[in-house]
């Protein structure tokens, strides 16, 4: 039963964050992923991967413009600023 509470929270959180417009900001984790060139870019969250059980919480973001030929990128939770 406890697992369902966790799942329901994750589902609710995922729905709340999806489609949010964001700006990518600097964080230590963004640097570790060698994605500092994304700082200042904007996009929309398409998938929330920020449950407490994840080792690297964050979001799949659809960028407004491609970076290195791709629109979708994993962005760490600490690098997300909602607009």
The first and second tokens of residue 43, run together, are: 């996009």
Its pTM stands at 0.79
Does the pLDDT at position 17 exceed 60? yes
pLDDT tens for each residue of 18-53: 788 999 999 999 999 999 999 999 999 998 887 777
Nearest one of 44, 27, 48, 30 to 83, comparing CA atoms = 44
- Residue 9 pLDDT level (bands cut at 50, 70, 90): very low
What does the alpha-carbon distance between residue 53 and residue 34 come to, in Å, rounded to a whole number? 24
């Amino acid at each position: 039963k406890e697992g369902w509470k966790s799942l329901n929270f994750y589902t609710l959180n995922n729905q709340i964050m999806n489609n949010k417009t964001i700006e990518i900001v600097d964080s230590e984790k963004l640097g570790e992923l060698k994605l500092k060139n994304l700082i200042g870019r904007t996009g929309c969250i398409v998938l929330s991967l920020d449950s407490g059980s994840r080792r690297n919480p964050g979001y799949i973001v659809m960028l407004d413009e491609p970076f290195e030929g791709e629109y979708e990128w994993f962005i760490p939770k600490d690098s997300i600023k909602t607009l």
